[in-house]
Structure 1
């Protein structure tokens, strides 16, 4: 199997365990990480020795969302390099490319189980959205603090379908975080585990799933995916990309990256905390 810069991999009992391995960056989703994740999924999509994929993360957080630093920015225009607004149409096309990334992972034919500890924020919710099941440690927290000033996730994490419209609006409008127990109650995660038992509980679920023949798993996954797709999921994701590009024209977005340019990322993040808590 290929060696990756930002991912660790391990195979056992027809389970491929993929570990996001940027603990020093709280596993922020960089351009490199997402490209490697997509390449890995393509590598094992039809591997008969892999029935289930588990995605976990090293360190204290699952992921804090998309990497905001220029060197790992996901799209072609880094806002801090512009005096004012980025080009709207180019931004829109870039974000549609990000949507295509999630569409391809959504279509991955094998079950994906996310194992979440600590923070799972903003863009991390998009990774969670393409997973089939989620096991969360008791310390897990979920939310989209970037909704205050940095944009919306094109997939809106599939929250309207997964947890309902009213709770989705509450979480987006307030940028509040919710814990693992509430996330399970809402249907965002399948199981909550004591932190010390998280690895074992996730493995037990993956082993149980792996008992089902892999061709049957592919059919079952396709059948359940189709319900969401028939409700217009892909069209909604594309619309989300366009609305995100419009968000990026806002004064708050421009002000954040102006501060990044003038004083650095830490100052911009500190100012966000002062403004929004």
Structure 2
């Protein structure tokens, strides 16, 4: 099974992160496939892209095991180049991108939402930016997230607090909160509104919205170096060992 699914339905390009057994954690291959799907959706004869997750998560963020395996400068650069490819692909999409959050969105999974134009989440979704616990940094939260939301993002980054959908909406991370089972219908309602707008106007607006990419690129380079630090690698190992104990 591919780690990212793509299909078109009712004028929408649906992109689904598809590693439910890993809570849709993103390894290098998944980041690359996400970028491919975004570029495919951008070229498709559709009016919007929707990104969601399979199973009980939107995405738990970067795959920590894969990050630990990126233990040389060459491997780390390869991993984070794939991450950047997906982020850069989002910047190049010239149609609305909707985040349909079906479950938890942590780390890089939460950060992806800062790059989307509209975010809809089910009531039971949870959000967190825990990179500080792992000796890492959250590139999208530091750049676009901070500029968009201000101090609430700093609080999320500096405390690794877990918040629910309603709190995320209060802070501006989420636009709509819907009941379980109503996510797709809510997305269709948003797409219907988008369909009533001039598509050239949308493309021009998206071009202006994409002008923050360079700051994220620089933060991803910093993250690449931090991934190789002893402190980060020790913290990531501790995280995996703790998760293994909790699951046994």
Q: Which TM-score applies when normalising by structure 2?
A: 0.85
Offset of residue 218 of structure 1: 1.1
Quick check: 1:15–1:207 contact (8 Å CA) kept in 2? Answer: no
Does 2:119 match 1:134? yes
In structure 2, relative to structure 1, the CA distance for the partners of 1:111 and 1:34 (3 Å cut) is same
Q: Which of structures 1 and 2 has the bigger CA Rg?
A: 1
Q: 1:30 aligns to what? A: 27
In structure 2, relative to structure 1, the CA distance for the partners of 1:200 and 1:101 (3 Å cut) is closer
Out of 221, 225, 237, the position equivalent to 2:206 is: 221
Offset of residue 102 of structure 1: 0.9
* Structure 2 Cα separation of the partners of residues 238 and 44 of structure 1: 22
* Structure 2 Cα separation of the partners of residues 78 and 38 of structure 1: 20
Q: 1:112 aligns to what? A: 97
In structure 2, relative to structure 1, the CA distance for the partners of 1:221 and 1:139 (3 Å cut) is same
Question: Which 4+ residue blocks in structure 1 deviate beyond 4 angstroms?
Answer: 89-94, 257-260
Q: 1:209 aligns to what? A: 194
* Structure 2 Cα separation of the partners of residues 180 and 249 of structure 1: 33
Quick check: 2:28–2:79 contact (8 Å CA) kept in 1? Answer: no
Does 2:247 match 1:255? no
Does 2:70 match 1:78? yes
Q: 1:199 aligns to what? A: 184
* Structure 1 Cα separation of the partners of residues 37 and 221 of structure 2: 28
* Structure 2 Cα separation of the partners of residues 94 and 9 of structure 1: 22
Q: 2:149 aligns to what? A: 163
Q: 1:83 aligns to what? A: none
Quick check: 1:116–1:140 contact (8 Å CA) kept in 2? Answer: yes
User: Per the alignment, in what secondary structure is the counterpart of residue 5 of structure 1?
Assistant: coil
* 242-251 vs 32-41, greater mean Cα deviation: 242-251
* Structure 1 Cα separation of the partners of residues 183 and 109 of structure 2: 19
* Structure 2 Cα separation of the partners of residues 21 and 151 of structure 1: 25
Out of 212, 222, 225, the position equivalent to 1:243 is: 222
